[in-house]
Structure 1
Amino acid sequence: MNWRSVKFDWNRARAFLVTAEEGSLSAAAKALGISQPTLSRQVSALEEELSTALFERGGRGLELTQNGLELLCYVQAMGEAASSFSLAATGRATSIEGDITVSASEITAAFALPPILKKLQRRYPGIRVSLVASNEASDLRRRAADIAVRNFRPSEPDLIARKVGTFEATLYADSDLLASIPRPVQEHLSEARFIGFVSNNEAYMGALAAQGLKLTEASFTARTDSHLVHWEMTRAGMGIGMVPIELGDAEPGIERVFPGHVFTGDVWLVAHRELRMNLRVRTVFDFLVDELAEYFDSAG
């Protein structure tokens, strides 16, 4: 690419960025130290240059359009890059600092990540971490998170992923509940109580059936989509639940139901490809790759 042929006005982009962050032209103009008419002209000029509306102007003030929302993340990255460039040029970029959002499943967020993130804080005290605990995959392309821990490999071409390990889980039950089921347990599944899921329970039943454990909907006397609640229900003796082995094996009074049936899957650390150009995100990403690999290796 001939970079000399690329025309870009950073002042217009900065006007858009600050207006979006402040929520009004008057507040943005004050933050930038310019007049409101000047700011308005810069935003309008950028909209004309891009041939798209960035804001909807209505009775409730300025609101980002869908195109504006999609473009905002790029301008925010430019703003961070400009700030980092300024710090580096003046010799003040002495530490890695700023906000990082990490997304992971409830179990990973609750049990695996806290000690790892504590170590991250000790090494990089300027980093502020937001941990999103959700069993739904965060949309990294819309910047719902900077980095995500997933149990599947992403297929989107604009995402990068590193395999950090393999998780193992199996069925566990409270010892008293397990003792009440006649032996061999596998031949008396109809008499056992299982904990299922509100959503996608058919897929869960299919996975169990593939291991020779054929259940019916009537087998599931308790259901939840929360993996943390699933674990607590298992501990409380409400039924047989699927639990990661590093939790189940370490819990007193909880036993494996079928020692020969272990379910495995890969664990991936994922980030948007463009975010790897951000030193802070790249540093945290590489740190988590090493720490999660060690965690899952010891868990297995």
Structure 2
Amino acid sequence: MSRLDWEDLNLFLAVAREGGLSAAANATGRSPATLGRRMLGLERELGRELFVRHGRGYRLTGEGQSLLSELSEVEARIARLSQRSGIEGLPLVKVSAGTWTTLALLRSFANLVGTPPDIRLRFVSGERVMDIAHREAVIGFRNQRPTDKTFAGRKLAKVEFAPFGAPDAPRLWIKVLADTPSARWLAKYAEGDAVCEVNSPRNALDLALAGQGMALLPTFIGDSEAGLLRAAQVVPELTHDQWLVVHEADRHIPEVRRAIDRMCRVLEGPRG
């Protein structure tokens, strides 16, 4: 271990995350041949077989996966130290959530950051699931329980969807063009009854508030808008659980713990 090169560990992270030498070469600027030699050297130095090599790329062995988890934790700690030394001074917590959960949280922003603020929050809002294992986000909101044993999950209130519109709005749908269960439901059942199509879920809410049609919204959003009424019953097949997910290595960090507790209080309490 005396000859262990920290640069080799960084290159290992690239190969492990990219799944092969060619993709890792693009990410690191090293040639595939160089990366292959460095990975062989790292395996000899550690006395572990880290990869199963095959024609489609490099797959991690169990020992390789363990090393990836260990190095990811070290990487996260270094990132947190860097954040604390920044000019803002407050520890940063990155949060990944869909459009509607982000909107509900932002409406209670002061309750999340504390008075006076003791954390900074960075919201990464969108329908793509961010990679918590690789620290694209520290806290993520999901529609199912995490199965990876390196993640911890906390079950929140169920999420229900229903059509909402202004009292005098036309009974025509505002369709959302997105890869989400609610958008797929609309694509299936509202094919000929759409007054407008948008690619941002939030735009559907804006149009509904303007009285232009019906939007399929989570009830915790639609019921909170004074200008909207439920136009029909809850759509049963869209009802799902909501889970707050965090990496086991991060869950007891003080600022992460505070953010989790505050977000859960917002999302588990009345949202209206």
Shorter-chain TM-score above 0.5: yes
Could you give the per-residue CA deviations for residues 99-146 of structure 1, whole angstroms, max 9, x where no partner exists?
Answer: 110111112212x21254422322573422111111222111221100
Q: For 1:171 and 1:251, locate their aligned partners in 2 and report how far apart those are by CA, in whole Å.
A: 13
Which of the numbers 265, 272, 275 marks the counterpart of 2:247? Answer: 272
Choose which of 178, 195, 206 in structure 2 pairs with 1:199.
178
2:207 is the counterpart of 1:233:
yes
- Do the aligned residues in 2 keep the contact of 1:175 with 1:254 (CA within 8 Å)? yes
Provide the rounded CA distance (Å) in 2 between the counterparts of 1:228 and 1:126: 29
% identical equivalent positions: 25
Deviations 1:268-299 (CA, angstroms, capped at 9, x unpaired)? 111122222534323432343334222xxx13
Moved more, 70-79 or 152-161: 70-79
- The equivalent of 2:93 in structure 1 is 100
Matched, 1:143 2:151: no
| SS, match of residue 75 in structure 1 | helix
Letter paired with 1:133: S
Mapped to 2, the partners of 1:145 and 1:199 lie a distance apart of: 22
Matches within 5 A, 1:201-216: 204=182, 207=185, 215-216=189-190
CA distance in 2, matches of 1:256, 1:228: 17
Question: In 2, are the aligned partners of 1:148 and 1:271 still within 8 Å (CA)?
Answer: yes
RMSD: 4.1
Per-residue CA deviation, residues 21-58 of structure 1 (Å, 9 max, x unaligned), is xxxxxxxxxxxxxxxxxxxxxxx999944569xxxxxx
Q: CA deviation at 1:262?
A: 5.1
1:177 aligns with 2:173: no
CA contact (8 A) 2:100 2:221 kept: no
Give the drift of 1:150: 2.3
Q: Could you tell me how far 1:15 is from its partner in structure 2? A: 10
Aligned position for 2:72: 73
- Return the letter of the residue paired with 2:92: D
The structural deviation recorded for 1:75 is 2.9
- Where do 1:90-169 residues align within 5 Å? 97-110=90-103, 112-122=104-114, 125-169=117-161
Corresponding residue number in structure 2 for 1:281: 256
Q: How many residues align?
A: 219
Aligned residue in 1 for 2:234: 261
Aligned equivalents of 2:221, 2:77: Cα separation in 1: 43
Q: Which has the larger radius of gyration?
A: 1
The alpha carbon displacement at 1:16 in A equals: 7.0
**Cα distance in 1, alignment partners of residues 184 and 42 from structure 2:** 54
Change in Cα spacing, 1:164 to 1:200, as seen in structure 2 (3 Å) is closer
Q: Which runs of 5+ in 2 are unaligned?
A: 14-36, 46-59, 61-67, 82-88
Is the CA contact (8 Å cut-off) linking 1:168 and 1:265 kept in structure 2? Answer: yes
Structure 1 residue ranges without an equivalent (≥5): 1-7, 21-43, 53-66, 84-95, 179-191
Equivalent residues of 2:105, 2:263 under 8 A apart: no
> Is the counterpart of residue 293 in structure 1 residue 265 in structure 2?
no
Change (3 A) 1:79 1:13: farther
Please state whether the residue corresponding to 1:135 is helix, strand or coil. coil
For each residue in 1:155-213, what CA deviation from the matched residue of structure 2 results, as whole angstroms up to 9, or x when unmatched?
A: 333322101212233111222224xxxxxxxxxxxxx4212222358x5487579xxxx
